[in-house]
Amino acid sequence: MSGEIAARPRTARKKRINDPEGMRRRVLDVAEESFQARGYHASSLGDLMAAAGVTGGALHHHFPTKKALALAVIEERVAGAVEETWIAPVRAAPSAREGVRAVFETVAAELEHQGYVRGCPLNNLAHELSLADDEFRVALARIFAGWRQAIADKMRADQQTGREEGTDPDRFAALTVATYSGAMSMAKTAQDAGVLRECLRGLERL
């Protein structure tokens, strides 16, 4: 066993294939994952490079700075996550109120199934980066605004059909997003998704 030196890669002797889109996607994948799990400042580019199997040159080619990488994660991944888990389901729901209820329960069920709580992707980055850099802040604020507007628009659509006449759409949207964000914050800190359901019950008393 002592004679064994590092096994050379006999297969694939220096045959490179340029795949810029795939490489960019892989970097974004591990960056999104690491930023959520460890945070922006606690994630080193060295770790990301190792996890993605990417060299420094390639990383620098696609994302000149760490900030540029984070901005891409925010605008492409975090915004996408909010769209996927909140905006689309609410739009597709029979009503705003029903959509909100469904999302709360879906997320709570998912968290309980996976056994741990990583928190809301948007809120996680918003807390760490909003005060650090104004470009970060604006990008994150835009996602919050789109989230709220989607809920408010749905509520307005409900009102077009005569329902929910006593409810202020923007107020309902703000309250919903705030409650969800705060509940996720508590769930993350307690590592228990139960508070999500508790807050949903409270919200339904409206």
Partner DNA sequence: GTATAAACAGACCGGTTGTCCTGTTTTGTC
Partner DNA sequence: GACAAAACAGGACAACCGGTCTGTTTATAC
Please give the residue ranges that form the binding site for a copy of itself (CB under 8 A).
37-39, 41-42, 118-119, 123-124, 126-128, 130-132, 137, 140-141, 144-145, 168, 170-172, 174-175, 177-183, 185-186, 188-191, 195, 198-199, 201-203, 205-206
Residue 46 or 80 with smaller CB distance to DNA: 46
Q: Which does 20 bind (CB under 5 to 8 A by kind): DNA, a copy of itself, none?
A: DNA
Tell me which DSSP letter residue 115 carries: S
Closest to a copy of itself by CB, 62 vs 86, is: 86
| Separation CA 44–CA 31 (nearest Å) | 10
The residue among 71 and 93 lying less far from DNA, judged by its C-beta, is 71
Is residue 137 within 8 Å of 131, Cβ to Cβ?
A: yes
DSSP string, 80-110: HHHIIIIIHHHHHSSSHHHHHHHHHHHHHHH
Nearest to 97 by CA among 181, 155, 17: 155
Residue 167: its H or E element:
none
| 44 vs 189, beta carbon nearer DNA | 44
Nearest approach, Cβ of 93 to a copy of itself (angstroms)?
A: 19
The residues that touch DNA, with contacts defined as CB under 7 A, are 14-20, 22-24, 41, 43-47, 54-58, 60-62, 64-67
Asked if 150 contacts 176 with a C-beta cutoff of 8 angstroms, the reply is no
